[in-house]
Structure 1
């Protein structure tokens, strides 16, 4: 089965289809970002018949790939019209060309410093035909008033406010390249049908106007039979001209086709997380990944409960499964997973992890939240909570959640839940954990999960500040600015550097929780 077709297509045919709403954008595509110089550059490339790269389109109509769509910026509103094609790659180029050539409106762009500006685009006809001038120099932009001045506005350098002034200055508007027959008769009349001007126009028409009108570019059309993961991969990997897109943004567009605003829902979730400092760094991707992990696990559990014994669907939180997350599953498990994250936060606080900066692995919160979503109130049993924290600390001190964690996540939710609720075998994370005592000498900063783990353990129920004797708990942690500091001060160690190496005095062995005041005094 052919999944794509490649062909050359007229630029004007594409721009016309955009204008008519036959070609649209998925709603999650980021906004148009090209600046004035890049627009002039692509116009020059088209004028010179230089390649500007391929455009990739997706045939609309696959029921499993439903995205909310929108018109390209500057194009007429689509008003619910279903597109024939969606732009996968080429948004920035096509938007720039559409706005400058077809829209017949001032182009809202940015200058080199990033400030918003409004521009009309023109071709200096004389420069365009000058063999000693690069065509790129002939294409320029002018402000929305079409007047260039100097000397604080006193002197007019160029005025293109009327057709007659365009004729007089020999400046051709890019916005009329496709409608040149409305411009040149008046141009002839203005110059009183001067033979040299007619000859000049004919040459300009042949070399420049037809260069635009005959321009074709390669178009890759993906058929609607392509699976969702293939389409999403194109958005993430191939969409190089704009801004990269995340799984969350792709899901946002998918859910929007069912009238659900995922971004707004995430904002509500963030407000709930705001009360829990441990969750400060929990991202929308973490949340989606936890829901995906939990929903695929629940699918397995539900099949087991109806008697199925094998051929279970995979429990997974990989990108493919995240992209295939159904809105119904998101809604079904959203609140459970939300409570799972909050419960994880509370349990970590009980274990003296009070802030997101002190969470050994924020990535470990994903399986922890999913596990707690399944355990529910069963985690309040002391024995069950002890098992959960044994799994947690093994992950921390075994330093097992640094990268490529999705496979471990899937094992965790299955094995940890089975171990806690059914007294099953110990999870692989516990089996894999190994901590060598010599590692203590190399733990020097918060970049290490084990470093943060030891810091938390040092703040047990009996830990007190050296100077004040204040017990360190969640209240004093924040009010007294508790942080991990050197026991033997750096200055003292430096004086004894012949006997104490920097590697030793900077390691976790020479550090302990202290208040900010005590640290300054010490």
Structure 2
């Protein structure tokens, strides 16, 4: 029997050239090109990360078949002869590659302008792949970039269209980039951006390595295809096409895994159908893939499609050691092991969903209030890891995972492509759980961002920051203004404090939709009591019926301060008053984020929260005492303490660009990295004691009070369980320090 199928492959360079020559045409019965700019970007990312992008199904054509099927060129290609293959499967991928590598003069479907694709060389070489691949719409500013190689070098923007024009242009661009950074001025007079000579040298080396990598990818990356014989009849070819595209959707990684597992006796789709009722609370169509990602993260930290294939029972995974040695390992030995890992991952996801939607844990009481569905795989993997810890370490692990979660929410960390982010976070949080000093850089980014967070712009109810604030209101125990109880998710209105009807008449744009003017109330209170009235109308009625003290307490649970209440109740409330109220609530909520999330006081009782604030105040005052009495001379700090604190500062400086490593010897830079014991060792140091003895007359008393203060602090910050003796002794130490420090 004649073999009508010929599996083969070609390099990326060959494919790019064939696309340019117009060798591929699309039959009339194919759907139109419909990928978004983001879809094209993700395909490009897969190629340059050496991921498999699927096989093409091609039919070696002839004139009568081209005519019979009304074949046309690839979208954007000015077809003028040269047709060789009819594309049966792979049109979207081929068209995406043509558009990215050849930049045809045509806008994408349903877009106003052309899109141009780039690789950011700096981000790529730092392996920050989520940010390395970019596209920009046509504009005057972009045209200036396209016209100026120097501007491209300076901004690290490598146009993918360079690959489409040929190997010489690629070599020329890489040489130009490298030379640009080799000759980059490093004097402050000539270098407006103050880029150091060392950094410019790094960019130059990166340029050479980037060029080598791109050449290897374009020469060696292989696209597989199946070529149907030219002599096949049209009827048979159409039948093949119909079978391939019968569902009208792209084959995703779950479908591929299902196909690969069937010969091993595993019915993956049926396994997911069996557990779907337990996980379908989340509003996503990717939960089946999330289960596989949890399995992959638990086994190997990574969860991109490339790594999911190593979950196949008996599949060899190549490993390259730091010393260059290579070997292979099998992650999943048998089908029974696969099923067991699947069951454990499903259980972790179920527990994670229950935790996230609990009103006293994370406050995502409804699917629409879950900041991200895409955070679930790494969250579940971390939750699973915490269950493997010794019992006494789980509480601290949970505390750290909560801190990471809120940092991810308020930095929009999981709003885009997340596989590499999840892998990085899983490793970072595990290291932090094991070592207090291995604090993830994300937490510093979170703290810095909170200082400049503008919540007035948060009007998108599905954004992570908007839903994060709403979760925080639930966790704070925001009570209904009439019933005085916390609303249930099925009886919840996202209420405008200053009503929409008034706002439309008096305020610009859609500013009244900000989260700062929203809060959760029951539908009855919102629609039947408040209605479209201003707060200066409905709040006095509530004060009179429920009592002013009670109402102020309820409003405080919504982060509405006394100052905000006074603004809302002004008789002639107008646009300026609205702005003043928004500013006051911004301050209240950001203070709450700082207090409850950054300082991790969310789970504390009111009394312990107050004590934690008192301890923080004492620590700050003691640090100030050290700076004052040592005359801001860091060289006077005991050498052992100084070495520890400098190491902490240097670690923090690597993660936080706002910290200058050159300041590692300045007292003002080191003080924030002193812990209680560092302060104690400094004050009681044999050489320095005479400097501080006038404030603390007895060294033994000082040591005792430090021990009591540290016991209370550690109990609050770590175990979250403080017995009465520790609490009372800690309170006494706070009072003692207050008395001493206020002299």
Give the number of the structure whose residues are more often helix, by fraction: 2
Structure ranking higher on relative contact order (CA contacts 8 Å, 6+ apart):
1
